[in-house]
Structure 1
Amino acid sequence: MNVKALLVLLLLAPPALAQGFAGLGTDAEGFAIPERGRALDFPRDHGAHPDYRIEWWYLTATLQGADGRDYGAQWTLFRSAVAPGEADGWDSPQVWMGHAGLTTPEQHFSAERFARGGIGQAGVQVDPFTAWIDDWHMTSTARAGADAYSALHIAATGPNFSYDLNMRAEGPLVLHGDNGYSVKSAAGQASYYYSQPFYTVEGTLNLPDGPVAVTGQAWLDREWSSQPLASDQTGWDWFSIVLQDGHRLMGFQLRGDQTFTAGTWITPQGEATALPDGALSFTPQGTAQVAGRDVPVRWRIDWPEQGLALQTEPINPQAWMDLTVSYWEGPIRVTGSHDGRGYLEMTGY
């Protein structure tokens, strides 16, 4: 069986079809399970965790051209283990998948790569840090002694698009949940989850009409687990938002028999406040016909305790990642009690 066929079977096994990539975590037998109280260890935890079932390195960037035109870029490397542990060559049980997206107000581009672990086609190296699949890469350009994620270069190429971006962090890493232990359901499924949400970006987007120089902001998410979602959860709505006053918000809801929410409020200095289930509410405000389905592309986010009432609007409502597992993902504008920009990812629609 070829690698792509194997990955398709893994991704489409019920209930993974609805949950997307995270649905791979529904069977955790033999794999390590996140434990509350385990301290994250850097730079080690920037690298791969082959004893866990699933993992990703996920970067989104909200960008603008010199004329003020809005763009968005996404770079993601997923690792999925067929069995726990690592081995050399073709004996490796690790399977890798890369996603890249680029959004303009009129167009959305996406691309996908697959690779087998153990043969050098894809992987993550801690020192010096680099994550890659084929010629796509996320590579540290940090100065000696600094955190590897304090400066990154990323690049990816797909049909009719490519991008080359440099970013530098202007704040610290942020741990979500209980010092990086992020609960995903009332039943207690959890992941290890942290972010670098403080990047400034500059680089070039290559589009069918030619290259565009851009600047902006970016957000890197790191997450790994073996059983992140409950069996009844059919998908999620995830937001990363940078407000004009320097605060940042990560928030998500997991849809199921009962909706589960969580989030993190981040000050401009990087101090994080975990928002428990029920603190945030996410209310659809408008849908669009996307890929033959109704997708809620406009949202209201409320945190009454903080006086936060945000309205989100997509840069391009048709930002559909038409890949092996399809989902909506794209840049958003934020208005209401605060103004800002961010990224929205929605799965299971």
Structure 2
Amino acid sequence: MNVSRLLLCLNLLVAGPALSQGFAGLGTAAEGFAIPHPDHRLEFPTDHGAHPDFRIEWWYLTANLKDETGQSYGIQWTLFRSALAPGEAEGWQSPQIWMGHAGLTSATAHFSAERLARGGIGQAGVTTAPFQAWIDDWQMAGANDLSQLDLSAAGDSFSYELSARTTAPLVLQGEQGYSVKSPEGQASYYYSQPNYQIKGSLTLPSGPVAVTGDGWLDREWSSQPLSENQEGWDWFSLRFDSGDKLMGFVLRGANGAEDFRSGTWISATGEVTPLAPGVFQADPLAQVEVKGRSIPTRWKVDLPERNVSLTVEALNPQSWMDVAFAYWEGPVTVFGSHSGTGYLEMTGYE
């Protein structure tokens, strides 16, 4: 049995039949774990680190890149922490499990890789002084305030080494970092840095490629980020040529439940405006077959209060992350009332 399947079996043993509640079991009850509260205020650099009393957490960076000929690429670097029980312990007694995902996408190819580790033995983790997130030899490390990051990852057929730099402040999603995810009140703590300038090198089967572009970091932690009646999400991070940015998500209802939609508008001057539930609109326009599944890779996105009416289209419709809990993740192009680029993540399509 390979390690991915071992982790999947471990989660099945822990979550049991309730694993079907939400993508990767994220809609199951979180008894014993900490839960987010709306009156809590995030503290930095402490909150750049791990929160072992919460069940799930991630450090997630995507980038839209171009080479010197203008060809487009996208990369993903993600470190997940998942707890079997609250708290931390030394060595193999640690209840923390770590998982890393890396992706590299062009218009004609998509590569993905996965790493798995147990907490407590030094194989994976996060520190804040200085900031470092790692699993095996994959790393994202840099300044305590995340203004500078260097990241690297490698799979069987690809690798990348990139630097990310910004002088912009962090963006607190939702209400001061408290992001509601359902009518029932499920929520996460959530902040972003959507203003990185990226440069570095990709290594493809055809050889190395120098690239530059823009990056977006998301940090999120919770213990039950989905309700039991939500099956997955469609998440958009869009960067417009005007300098404005839009983060929006659709949490898809199951068993007749309504979808839950929300997001954030980030102006070119840095003003952050949380969107009321339902204001952000995203609806599929076209679907393609990906790994035997019907996946919407062309979307209509509207935000009437900002005069936004867009078509969002995948650079490569076959951007499937073939990992233990599989999902679609890839760069997108944007046209319509605004033009630009971004990233789209879609989970729960079985």
- TM-score norm. by structure 2 comes to 0.95
Provide the rounded CA distance (Å) in 2 between the counterparts of 1:17 and 1:265. 32
Q: Percent identity?
A: 61
Letter in 1 for 2:221: W
Q: How far apart are residue 164 of structure 1 and its match? A: 0.3
Q: Which residue of 2 aligns with 1:346?
A: 346
**Could you give the per-residue CA deviations for residues 152-179 of structure 1, whole angstroms, max 9, x where no partner exists?**
0000000100000001014110001110
The separation in 1 between residues aligned to 2:240 and 2:272, in whole angstroms, is: 15
Superposed structure 1 runs of 4+ greater than 2 Å apart: 1-7, 9-21
| CA contact 2:21–2:27 (8 Å) conserved in 1 | no
Q: Is the Cα–Cα contact under 8 Å of residues 171 and 269 in structure 1 kept in the other structure?
A: no
- The residue number in structure 2 matching 1:307 is 307
Amino acid at match of 1:318: Q
Q: How big is the shift at 1:18?
A: 7.2
**Aligned residue number for residue 243 of structure 2:** 246
Contact 2:22 2:228 in 1 (8 A): no
Correspondence for 2:78 among 76, 79, 100:
76
Note the aligned Cα RMSD (angstroms).
1.5
In the TM superposition, what is the alpha-carbon distance from 1:278 to its structure 2 partner? Answer: 0.8
SS in 2 for 1:9: helix
Q: Which amino acid aligns with 2:9?
A: L
Mapped to 1, the partners of 2:19 and 2:269 lie a distance apart of 38
Distance, in Å, in 2 between the alignment partners of 1:4 and 1:337 is 43
Cα distance in structure 2, aligned partners of 1:323 and 1:239: 21
Partner residue of 1:111 out of 107, 110, 113: 113
Cross-structure match for 1:316: 316
Q: How does 1:171-182 map to 2 (within 5 A)?
A: 171-182=168-179
CA drift at 1:19: 3.5
| Cα 1:18–1:231 shift into 2, 3 Å | closer
State the number of aligned residues.
343
2:23 to 1, 8, 20: 20
Look up the equivalent residue of 1:26 and give its one-letter code: T
Letter in 1 for 2:279: A
Length-normalised TM-score, structure 1: 0.95
Match of 2:208 among 199, 211, 228: 211
Q: Is the 8 A contact 1:10 1:24 kept in 2?
A: no
Q: Give the counterpart letter for 1:27 in structure 2.
A: A
* SS of equivalent to 1:149: coil
SS in 2 for 1:234: strand
Give the partner amino acid of 1:20: F
Per-residue displacement from partner, 1:163-203 (whole Å, max 9, x unpaired)?
00001014110001110000000000000000000000000
Counterpart Cα distance in 1 of 2:111 and 2:20: 22
The runs of 5 or more residues in structure 1 that have no matched partner are: none
- 1:305 is displaced (CA, Å) by 1.3
Deviates more, 1:262-271 or 1:225-234: 262-271
For residues 72-117 of structure 1, what are the alpha-carbon distances to aligned partners after superposition, in whole Å with 9 as ceiling and x for unaligned? 0000000000000001111111000000000011110000000000
Q: Distance in 2 between matches of 1:328 and 1:18?
A: 19
Match of 2:188 in 1: 191
Could you tell me whether the CA contact under 8 Å between 1:18 and 1:235 is conserved in 2? no
Q: 1:181 corresponds to which letter in structure 2? A: Y
| 8 Å Cα contact 1:25-1:54 kept in structure 2 | no
How has the CA–CA distance of structure 1 residues 10 and 244 changed in structure 2, closer, same or farther, with 3 Å as cutoff? farther
Are 1:163 and 2:160 an aligned pair? yes
CA distance in 1, matches of 2:76, 2:123: 21
C-alpha change, 1:19 and 1:206, in structure 2 (3 Å) is farther
Q: Identify the residue that residue 43 of structure 2 maps to in structure 1.
A: 41
